[in-house]
Chain A
Amino acid sequence: MKELSVNHLLGIKYINKNDIDLIFETADQFKEVINRPIKKVPSLRDITIANIFFENSTRTKLSFELAQKRLSADVISFSAAQSSVKKGETLIDTVNNILSMKVDMVVMRHERPGAAHFLSRNVNASIVNAGDGAHEHPTQGLLDSYTIREKLGEVGGKKVVIVGDILHSRVALSNIFALQMQGAEVRVCGPKTLIPKYIESLGVKVEPNLRKALEWADVANMLRVQNERLDVNYFPSTREYAQQYGVDKALLDSLDKEIIIMHPGPINRGVEITSDVADSQQSVILEQVENGVAVRMAVIYLLASKIKQ
């Protein structure tokens, strides 16, 4: 089966394992392409893609733009300033703009969960969710799994702990869905105030002690403290967070095996991880960024191939 089962990428929960395998196989090909002298393929030269970012982004926005340009697509990007988007209203205006520009695909990041879903029901274009509030960030979930597959050979049977602000993290949720679909075991670790109450109903155990969590795991995915989403004080101080849930070189070296350290970025150096951990051999943070372009090329290519002439 060489086609995606969906016409949009709204979340990991809507795709299946075959889709993930197909995306990864295609990403392998694109990883080779982006290491050639001329990093372009002409496949999407008749496709127009709009990137609409209602929330700030460096990595994701650049990564998507690069992926689209390497596929020779026409790209238009606009970031709405960090204004409060009233529920639905301004989005409908945006929808009307898109319809009149006749774009084939929309990549959107929005602060409201379900925004991408809403768009897919109201616009005649293929939608890629680049993050909707604290809900899902499917391409991040995919590239994280892809990186684990690259480093450890496969994802099935591996033990992954996600550390930090799980409550507000779309990266955490997408990762949980993707990893479980591929047969990995997932645990979370963080301050009790930042772990969702019903996380166990997803089949994810909570390990409150960081050292124990790292000793159990093969991979640790460190999440950033999402200050912009913290409406109340979830922990006494950043220093206390760093002491209890931050990883430093001493802690990493004291474990009896070498684990892989991941971080979706941007890193708060000294809070979630220290500089010597971020720059160490065990960290795959920059590989995640490189893989992000290849995975996004694969997703866009596969979605585009379903848009018939």
Chain B
Amino acid sequence: MSHKILLTSREVNIILHRLACQLIEKHLDFSDTVLIGLQPRGRFLAERIKQLLEQEYNVTGIELGFLDITFFRDDFRRSDKPLEANRTEIDFLVENKKVVFIDDVLYTGRSIRAALTAIQSFGRPSEIELLVLIDRRFSRHLPIQPDYRGRQVDAINDEKVKVSWKEHDGEDSVYLI
């Protein structure tokens, strides 16, 4: 099982800055926008992006929430994987707001489909966008594409894309394993 490095720490950093700038271009001062990290792993990326926007680009008052999609998955009872739910923390209404879903890897698109259904429980967003660090193109099962993408990757089914974060795993990096 080979570990191929896709993004080094420096490359991840540059990409995060670029994504932050792209977000600012579209959403300006974020007064009508909320960021939603998809649990469990989109959470770290979402927190990083918020931190970057606040500290490096002086955007204040950004609303950040975390959405758990375990109960909206379409593989309940169909897969042997035990389901582990994480916390959903959305302390604001998404009614009429622009929602940006943030996840680390976009693969089949089923998680995003679940998130699109799940977010309806919190209101009716005015629009929903998707930001991902890694887009595994050609692996989609559904017609779902990101609005902001870090890096596009071609990976075969057996391979997994592993994203590590400094706060959690010691370094920022993306590996293909």
Seen from chain A, the residues whose Cβ lies within 8 Å of a Cβ on chain B are: 1-3, 25-26, 29, 32-33, 36-44, 46, 301, 304-305, 307-309
Contact = CB atoms under 8 A, between A and B. Distances in A.
Given A2-B83, A29-B85, A38 B77 contact: no
Nearest to A32: B88
Contacts of B123: 37
A36 B122 contact: yes
A33 B77 contact: no
Interface stretch (B68-76, B100-108, B153-161): B68-76
Nearest to A307: B77
Nearest to A40: B121
Given A3-B82, A29-B85, A42 B71 contact: yes
B122 A29 contact: no
A37 B121 contact: yes
Contact of A41 (B71, B82, B87): B71
A8 B56 CA distance: 55
Contacts of B117: 42
Given A2-B84, A42-B71, A305 B121 contact: no
B78 interface: yes
A38 B123 CA distance: 8
Contacts of B85: 25-26, 29
Contacts, number: 49
Contacts of B31: none
The 6 closest A-B pairs by CB, nearest first: A2-B82, A41-B71, A38-B121, A29-B85, A36-B121, A43-B71
Contacts of B73: 43
A1 B88 CA distance: 22
Given A37-B121, A38-B121, A309 B71 contact: no
Contact of A33 (B71, B76, B82, B83): B71
A304 to B, nearest CB: 7
23 contacts: A2-B82, A25-B85, A29-B68, A29-B85, A33-B71, A33-B121, A36-B121, A37-B93, A37-B121, A38-B122, A40-B121, A42-B71, A43-B72, A43-B73, A46-B77, A304-B77, A305-B76, A305-B77, A305-B83, A307-B77, A308-B77, A309-B77, A309-B78
Interface in B47-98: 68, 70-73, 76-78, 82-85, 87-88, 93
Contacts of A3: 82
Interface of B: 68, 70-73, 76-78, 82-85, 87-88, 93, 117, 120-123
Given A3-B82, A43-B71, A43-B76, A32 B87 contact: yes
Contacts of B82: 1-3
Contacts of A39: 121
B15 to A, nearest CB: 32
B148 to A, nearest CB: 27
Given A304-B77, A305-B76, A305-B77, A37 B83 contact: no
Contact of B120 (A38, A46, A301, A309): A38
B77 A37 contact: no
A75 B80 CA distance: 26
Contacts of B70: 29
B123 to A, nearest CB: 7
A140 B123 CA distance: 33
Contacts of B93: 37
A42 B71 CA distance: 7
A33 B85 CA distance: 12
Contacts of B68: 29
Given A2-B83, A26-B85, A32-B88, A41 B77 contact: no
* Residue among A1, A32, A308 facing the most chain B CB atoms (10 A cut-off): A32
Contacts of A40: 121
A31 B68 CA distance: 14
A198 B56 CA distance: 70
